[in-house]
Amino acid sequence: MNNFVPHPSPPRPDWEDPSVASASRGTRLRAVKHFAHFPDGLTLVSGERIAPLDIAYESFGTLTPQRDNAILIVHALTGDSHCAGVYHDTDPKAGWWDPLIGPGKAFDTNKYFIICANNLGGCQGTTGPSSINPATGRPYGLSFPVFTIRDIVNAQKLLLEHLGIHRLLCVSGGSMGGMITLEWAAAYPSWVSCIIPVSTSARLSPQGIAFSEVERQAIISDPKWNNGNYDPDDPPARGLAVARMIAHITYLSSESMQLKFGRRRRAGSAHSHFGDHFEIENYLHYQGARFVERFDANSYLYLTKAMDFYDLAEGCSSLEEGAARIKCKALFIAFRSDWLFPPRETAELVDALRALGRDVEYHEIESSYGHDAFLVEYPKYAYLIERFLERVYRFYNR
């Protein structure tokens, strides 16, 4: 039996003023998850409405009296609001961008106030397909409205307004989080002083969309999916695990798989025709098994589709026209071996922004880790973030 349970709408706690700094433990932060509750919900781009809406978020550092040092960190496809720190001293693992967030780190919590929210449609505290529909008392499932990257941005904007923040020093995220970062700058230019998109591009390639579709079909083909109406205690775990296995192949590179696994075989596997003969097979099965313990299958379907549909130039005659909506300073970071979001696609957007006269930095980092590099190669780009943020902060506070 799977341990995943749907997230009901949490009660609204007493909101803590964001100016109260999170406690730190040495150089590691103490993380606390908060919930913001919006009874009136959110009207989506489609015109449909999600109400009520709950958003899970975490925050670190101290907001200045001028409220001019807020940075929004945006997670990737299957991430969550736990971007840094630990909940308890015994936590074996800190938040997903912990090497970059904290006192003296790239996103320095001694200088900046950091907010990270679980994306709309997720399954880690923010309202999504696994949340309870108040009209039925059951999980939304496929009755949850289809949403877009812009809707995710609008939900985050609702949270920021709730926190009394009306301008961001920076928005930053990797992969799908990078797309959300771009949309923030394009949709609300007066809100954003700078952006740091990492391992991302203006749109997902046809190859990326193809992989997303195969991942979705793995879930939909699982008999337990039941057209999205599965038992939360008995979800389509096999299909979701296979979807994660496929996704992990796109996160790696041929070079990294060769270095990490090669063609090494597992001891004791020779007796089975179709067992985990190779270490790479064992790795993929392990990642799939771990994933189903923390993620909802329907959320995966909705979020991958939102990423597939995103196009910065949608409704425009060219990428340059779409990019023209971005007015702020930008630091783009890409990794040589990333074939899910190849550097050439990032560079295409950078060229469009530079042609428009925008203040843009671009760095292509040498790495063999593929798309996963933005979650691994911290020392190779942390100093770029630190330097860029310092320059932007000084520019707006001279």
pLDDT tens readout for residues 215-249: 999 999 999 999 999 999 999 999 999 999 999 99
CA distance 89 to 254: 37
- Which of 108, 296, 371, 372 is an active site residue? 371
- Which of 212, 338, 367, 372 is an active site residue? 338
- What CATH number has the domain spanning 208-306? 1.10.1740.110
Angle at CA of residue 164, ends 358 and 101, nearest 5°: 60
Nearest Cα neighbor of 174 from 116, 214, 215 is 116
CA distance 155 to 175: 19
CA distance 36 to 38: 7
- Which of 22, 59, 131, 175 is an active site residue? 175
* Residue numbers in the chain where pLDDT is lower than 70: 1-28, 268-276
Q: What length is written for the chain?
A: 398
What contacts 305, CB < 8 A, 6 or more positions away? 146, 212, 216
299 is known as an active-site residue: no
Q: Give the start-to-end residue ranges of the domains of the chain.
A: 24-204+311-396, 208-306
Looking only at the bridges linking them, the beta strands covering 70-74 and 113-117 are parallel
Nearest Cα neighbor of 125 from 236, 34, 50, 234 is 34
Nearest Cα neighbor of 228 from 214, 243, 246, 240 is 240
CA distance 120 to 49: 13
CA distance 127 to 52: 8
88 is known as an active-site residue: no
What contacts 141, CB < 8 A, 6 or more positions away? 129, 228, 229, 230, 298
* CATH T-level fold of 24-204+311-396: Rossmann fold (3.40.50)
Phi, psi at 108, each rounded to 5° = -75, 115
CA distance 109 to 71: 10
CA distance 69 to 112: 5
Sign of the torsion angle spanned by Cα atoms 42, 45, 46, 47: positive
- Token pair for 106: 């790239």
Q: What's the confidence (pLDDT) of residue 270?
A: 55
Q: What's the confidence (pLDDT) of residue 398?
A: 75
pLDDT, tens digit, 9 for 90 and up, residues 122-177: 999 999 999 999 999 999 999 999 999 999 999 999 999 999 999 999 999 999 99
Q: What angle do the packed helices 279-291 and 237-251 form, to 10 degrees?
A: 120
Q: What's the confidence (pLDDT) of residue 15?
A: 28
Q: What's the confidence (pLDDT) of residue 29?
A: 87
Q: What's the confidence (pLDDT) of residue 70?
A: 98
Q: What's the confidence (pLDDT) of residue 397?
A: 82
175 is known as an active-site residue: yes
